[in-house]
């Protein structure tokens, strides 16, 4: 039926739910997913985000504080792949 949504698998949330949960914008959540920084799956035109992966990323960024803006920090060494199964 039109307008009906299927329930998500346990632990997966939409980009809008991820934005509400984290305080990040939906666009930034999609960038994290595309960049492989959080675990996500693209379903059709929508992204589904693994809740725990998002929370782990947010915790890590909160722990880094201002150091998160340092382009030479160790967790960025080696670059980022284009996989969508990233973590922190």
For residue range 20-54, what is the model confidence (pLDDT) as tens digits?
A: 999 999 999 999 999 999 999 999 999 999 999 99
Residue 60 lies in a domain: yes
**More confidently predicted of 6 and 59:** 59
Q: What is the pTM of this model?
A: 0.71
Q: Evaluate whether residue 81 is within a structural domain.
A: no
Mean pLDDT of 70-74: 79
Q: Is 65 exposed, middle or buried (0-12, 13-18, 19+ CB in 10 A)?
A: exposed
| Assigned token pair, 34 | 């595309």
Q: Within a domain: residue 6?
A: no
**Residue 48 structural domain:** 12-76
**What's the pLDDT at 1?**
40
Across the chain, how many H-helices and E-strands are there?
3, 3
Domains contained in the chain, number: 1
E strands, the chain, in order:
12-14, 40-43, 46-50
- Residue 2 domain-assigned? no
């Amino acid at each position: 039926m039109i307008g009906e949504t299927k329930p998500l698998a346990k632990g997966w949330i939409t980009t809008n739910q991820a934005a509400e949960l984290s305080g990040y914008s939906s666009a930034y959540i999609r960038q994290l997913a595309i960049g492989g920084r959080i675990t996500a799956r693209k379903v059709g035109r929508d992204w589904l985000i693994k809740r725990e992966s998002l929370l782990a990323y947010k915790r890590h960024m909160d722990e880094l504080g201002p150091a998160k803006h340092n382009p030479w920090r160790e967790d960025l060494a080696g670059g980022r792949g284009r996989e969508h199964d990233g973590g922190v």
